[in-house]
Amino acid sequence: METPNLSYINSLSGGDKAFEKQLITIIKSEFPKEKDVYFKNIESDNFTEASENVHKIKHKISILGLEKSYAIAVDYENNLKTSNLEGKVDFETILQLITDYLVTL
Is 2 a domain residue?
Answer: no
For 45, counting Cβ atoms within 10 Å of its Cβ (0-12 exposed, 13-18 middle, 19+ buried), the class is exposed
SS3 string, 22-71, reads HHHHHHHHHHHHHHHHHHHHHHCCCHHHHHHHHHHHHHHHHHCCCHHHHH
Q: Model confidence over 33-69: pLDDT tens digits? A: 999 999 999 999 999 999 999 999 999 999 999 999 9
> What is the distance between the alpha carbons of residues 97 and 25, in angstroms, rounded to a whole number?
18
> What is the distance between the alpha carbons of residues 3 and 40, in angstroms, rounded to a whole number?
26
Mean pLDDT computed over every residue of the chain = 97
Is 44 a domain residue?
Answer: yes
Give me the mean pLDDT over the 15-28 stretch.
Answer: 96
Q: Output the pLDDT for position 1.
A: 75
> What is the distance between the alpha carbons of residues 47 and 57, in angstroms, rounded to a whole number?
15
Give me the mean pLDDT over the 8-15 stretch.
Answer: 94
pTM for the whole structure: 0.94
Is 84 a domain residue?
Answer: yes
- Its domain, for residue 53, covers 7-104
Is 1 a domain residue?
Answer: no
In the chain, how many domains are there? Answer: 1
Q: How many other CB atoms sit within 10 Å of the CB of residue 68?
A: 12
